[in-house]
Amino acid sequence: MVSPSTPFRPTRAMMLAAGLGKRMRPLTATTPKPLIEVAGKALIDHGLDRMAAAGITDVVVNVHYLADFVEVHVSHRSVPKPVISDERRQLLDTGGGLKKALPMLGPEPFLLMNSDSFWVEGATPNLELLIEAWDEARMDALLLLAPMVNAFGYDGHGDFFMTPNAEVRRRKERSVAPFVYAGVAILHPRLFEGAPDGPFSLNTLFDKAIEAERLFGVRMEGIWLHVGTPKAIREAEAAILESAL
């Protein structure tokens, strides 16, 4: 256990890589979305590289669609060291996939990342902002939230509001919220107490944490790039080039 005087840093993570990637067709007809390249690197490697820089040593990667391709790809990595959570027989959605993987993630809070989470960093790496803000006494989940004004390729109405003390509230129907969930979070395993078996959305547990006043957010720095369609890949690469210039 970490002593009270030592800031907690997660060493384990979950990479969600089992989705079907339907909006990315026709590219995903033969290539799983996590392996589609943006700026010369597979989406999943962008995320895994950021995990490694943040001190993550072990990562659980769930697989379903074109699972063999993803499994072989990540097997070549040593940092973070990958372990596969196999969902070939049944796709379990975000919540169900995480619950299945909990025994491999251990009892401590862990980092969660969608395999297509993609951004251009600001002054401070966003995983560092997330880790520094984690407070186990107050939080069951801490989300990385991208301001809508800095979200490229996203055409939704936002997901959340954030109070002055960083508590998160969900957007109501027919309204617009200033923040969108960037697909990155720190979660405590206790969030899954009483969770159902089989497929279910992680949003169910986010709502439970909101009711308990234990869901918090961190404002992302830099630019969040929603890489959801083939067109969005070109837009993301253009944004990366513009940022570099």
Residue 6 belongs to a domain: no
Residue 111 main-chain phi, psi, to 5 deg: -85, 140
* Radius of gyration from C-alpha coordinates of the chain: 17
Q: Which positions ≥6 away from 221 have C-beta within 8 Å? A: 121, 122, 123, 124, 126, 129
* Mean pLDDT calculated for residue range 178-200: 96
**What local confidence, expressed as pLDDT, does residue 114 receive?**
95
**What local confidence, expressed as pLDDT, does residue 245 receive?**
60
Q: Is the pLDDT of residue 4 over 60?
A: no
Q: Is the pLDDT of residue 126 over 60?
A: yes
Q: Is the pLDDT of residue 135 over 60?
A: yes
Q: Could you give the CA distance from residue 204 to residue 159 in angstroms, rounded to a whole number? A: 14
Residue 102 belongs to a domain: yes
Residue 4 belongs to a domain: no
Q: Is the pLDDT of residue 5 over 70?
A: no
Q: Could you give the CA distance from residue 223 to residue 151 in angstroms, rounded to a whole number? A: 6
**What local confidence, expressed as pLDDT, does residue 16 receive?**
97
- The SS3 of residue 220 is coil
Residue 2 belongs to a domain: no
Residue 159 belongs to a domain: yes
Residue 63 main-chain phi, psi, to 5 deg: -135, 145
Locate 113 and state its tokens. 């990342």
For the chain, percent of residues with pLDDT exceeding 70: 97
pLDDT band at 226 (very low <50, low <70, confident <90, very high): confident
Q: How many domains, in total, are found in the chain?
A: 1
Q: List 200's β-bridge partners, or say none.
A: none
Report the CATH number at residue 138: 3.90.550.10
* Mean pLDDT calculated for residue range 120-145: 96
Residue 185 belongs to a domain: yes
pLDDT digits (tens, 9 = 90+) for 12-48: 999 999 999 888 888 889 999 999 998 889 999 999 9
**What local confidence, expressed as pLDDT, does residue 22 receive?**
86
Q: Could you give the CA distance from residue 20 to residue 3 in angstroms, rounded to a whole number? A: 42
* Mean pLDDT calculated for residue range 179-197: 96
CB atoms near residue 141 (< 10 Å): 23
Q: Could you give the CA distance from residue 245 to residue 242 in angstroms, rounded to a whole number? A: 5
Q: Is the pLDDT of residue 2 over 80?
A: no
Residue 31 main-chain phi, psi, to 5 deg: -130, 125
Name the strand (E) or helix (H) holding 112: strand 110-114
pLDDT band at 164 (very low <50, low <70, confident <90, very high): very high
- 173: exposed, middle or buried (C-beta count within 10 Å: 0-12, 13-18, 19+)? exposed
Residue 34's alpha-carbon distances to 15, 45, 67, 182, 243, in angstroms, are 10, 8, 10, 16, 23
Locate 25 and state its tokens. 């067709």
Q: What is the largest CA-CA distance in the chain?
A: 51
pLDDT band at 193 (very low <50, low <70, confident <90, very high): very high
For the chain, percent of residues with pLDDT exceeding 90: 76
Residue 130 belongs to a domain: yes
Q: Could you give the CA distance from residue 135 to residue 104 in angstroms, rounded to a whole number? A: 23
Q: Is the pLDDT of residue 6 over 80?
A: no
Residue 1 belongs to a domain: no
**What local confidence, expressed as pLDDT, does residue 241 receive?**
79
Give me the half-sphere count of Cα atoms (radius 13 Å) on the Cβ side of residue 48.
26
Least confident of 56-70, 103-117, 134-148, 227-241: 227-241
Domain carrying residue 21: 12-244
CB 163 within 8 A of CB 127: no
Which residue did the predictor score with more confidence, 220 or 242?
220
Quote the mean pLDDT of the chain. 93
